[in-house]
Amino acid sequence: MKFMIVGKANAETEAGVLPSQELVDNMHAYNESLAKAGVLLAAEGLYPSSQGAQIAYSGGKATVIDGPFAEAKELIAGFWLIQVKSREEAIEWALRLPVPPGHEGVGLDVWRVFDPSDVPDDSMPAEEREREEALRERLSVDQPDD
């Protein structure tokens, strides 16, 4: 099962304040532990919403809204994509994330990621499944090695 751990933004992350070296070191150690356990698929921090955009739909038309956005507590600052055996294991990993001092109230969300393998074979046409698998294979091949 794939899960996404979403780190919430706060006033500091929205202001573009970089984390302390101690927190960066702790995050690297956390990411290393995920990698060593073989569960890490991706992990990235995000720029403040001032460098992003939202797209809203109304009446079948799209409107682009430039950041920054008002509610920092509703925004995300980064994410981890992990592959684990259960929701409980995903939560266990999320609970290990280092929390910087003074950041009480900044939270995490743990979301299960939908995967085509979750769909029973008989409910997705074979052609559609093959197309999805080919796209995912192409995406994994196109990723640069870090």
- CA dist 131 and 145 (Å) reads 25
Whether 69 and 121 share a structural domain: no
Each residue's pLDDT tens digit, 54-91: 999 999 999 999 999 877 667 898 999 999 999 999 99
Whether 43 and 103 share a structural domain: yes
- CA dist 67 and 9 (Å) reads 14
The better pLDDT of the pair 107, 121 is held by: 107
Work out the pLDDT band at 1, boundaries 50, 70, 90: very high
Whether 12 and 34 share a structural domain: yes
- CA dist 7 and 108 (Å) reads 5
Whether 21 and 61 share a structural domain: yes
**How much is the pTM?**
0.78
Whether 107 and 120 share a structural domain: no
The better pLDDT of the pair 102, 32 is held by: 32
Residue 118 tokens read as 């979750």
Whether 41 and 65 share a structural domain: yes
Per-residue confidence (pLDDT) for residue 141, from 0 to 100: 67
Which one of 32-46, 64-78, 93-107 scores highest in mean pLDDT?
Answer: 32-46
Provide long-range contacts, Cβ within 8 A and 24+ apart, for 13-17.
Answer: 13/48, 13/72, 13/77, 14/48, 14/49, 14/50, 14/68, 14/72, 14/75, 15/48, 16/47, 16/48, 16/50
Half-sphere exposure (Cβ direction) of 57: Cα atoms closer than 13 Å: 1
Tally of structural domains, the chain: 2
Work out the pLDDT band at 5, boundaries 50, 70, 90: very high
Q: What is the CATH number of the domain that holds 88?
A: 3.30.70.1060
Whether 89 and 27 share a structural domain: yes
Each residue's pLDDT tens digit, 117-131: 777 767 777 787 778
Whether 25 and 43 share a structural domain: yes
Identify the domain containing residue 37 by its residue range. 2-113
Stated as kind and residue range, the H or E segment containing 130 is helix 126-142
Whether 76 and 13 share a structural domain: yes
Residue 75 tokens read as 């925004």
- In terms of Cα–Cα distance, which of 80, 96, 106 is closest to 19? 106
Identify the three-state secondary structure at position 77.
strand
The 8-class DSSP code of residue 8 comes to E
Whether 103 and 127 share a structural domain: no
